[in-house]
Structure 1
Amino acid sequence: MQFTSKEDIEAPIERVFAEITDFQGFERSALRRGADIKRTDTLRAPGVGVSWHAVFKLRGKQRTLDVNVAEYDPPNGITLGLVSASIEGQMIADLVALSRGRTRMSVTLVLQPRSLAARLMMQSLKLARSNLTKRFKVRVAEYAMEVEERYQQSA
């Protein structure tokens, strides 16, 4: 199952890349939302191999997720590998400079089942695909607006 969204951001590509690779900011955000997240690598600089283990509640059940940076291509994008007990996937963020102060961000989320139960869950998700796609696009648009606002405040 795949979800995609594109947003244009009024900020330079370098700034947008810095925002989407603000790993400490994402960690703090997850902690504020009740997730237990721990960094599992020993790398000092961001790049391929940076990884986390997260435990969180979703739909009333305790879930675990391992996330790792699979590709790191400044300032063009980043790919995260996602692995849980029943689902694996990738989140790909590609950046394209439209002009000196404008960037197009394309975000793709690809999920694949790893078990029979996950396959059945994916089938039920396909029934709600239009609603899930809409929610995904809204969340990416909200994030793009946040990036734009933080850039404008710092400029």
Structure 2
Amino acid sequence: MKFETREDIEAPIDYAFSQISDFAVLERSLQRRGADVERTIDKTPPAPGIVWDTAFDLRGKRRHLRLEMICYEPPTLMRFAATSKSLDCDVEVELVSLSRGRTRMALAADLKPRTISARLMVQSLKLARTNVTKRFEIRTATFARDLEDRYLRRA
């Protein structure tokens, strides 16, 4: 099952990419929301092969997820592979410069179940696709607006 959304950001592509790839800030943001995030393999500067082990609560259960960056091409593309016991997910963040001060961010997540229970969960997501897609788009839009606000405060 694939989720896709696009958001236009009022900020240059280099700034947008630098904010999206500021992993320390993103890790702290997830931790404030109750997730455990540990970077188990680190690379400086960022490069493919960075790995995070995460744990978070979802639907009343503690879920564990391993996230690995598999592609890092500044300032346009990042790809991640997420794996858990029952589900795989490929995530792609692509940026396209629309003008000097405007960037389009495309975000795609492709869920692939590995177990029967995961297939049932993905099937229930398909039944609620409209609501799930709307929440995905709202969170992406909120992230884009926050990025724009940081850019405008900086300028």
TM class by smaller structure: over 0.9
Residues 76-155 of structure 1: pairs in structure 2 closer than 5 A? 76-155=76-155
Q: Deviations over 1:1-34 (max 9, x none)?
A: 0111111111000001001101001110111111
1:117-138 alpha-carbon deviations (Å, 9 max, x no partner):
1111111111000100011011
Mapped contact 2:40–2:51 kept (Cα < 8 A): yes
* Stretches of structure 1 lacking an aligned partner (at least 5 in a row): none
Quick one: distance in 1 between partners of 2:102 and 2:25?
A: 23
Q: CA RMSD in A?
A: 0.8
Q: Give the number of equivalent residue pairs.
A: 155
CA distance in 2, matches of 1:7, 1:32: 25
Secondary structure (helix, strand or coil) at the match of 1:40 reads: strand
TM-score normalised by the chain length of structure 2: 0.97
Deviations 1:96-134 (A, max 9, x none): 000001000000011100111111111111100010001
Q: CA deviation at 1:66?
A: 0.4
Where in structure 1 do 4 or more consecutive aligned residues deviate above 4 Å?
none
1:42 shift after superposition: 3.6
Query: What are the ranges of 5 or more consecutive residues in structure 2 without an aligned counterpart?
Result: none
SS of 2:66's equivalent in the other structure is strand
Contact kept, 8 Å, 2:42 with 2:51, in 1: the verdict is: no
Q: Which residue number corresponds to residue 75 of structure 2?
A: 75
> Which residue number in structure 1 is paired with residue 19 of structure 2?
19
Percent of aligned positions that are identical:
48
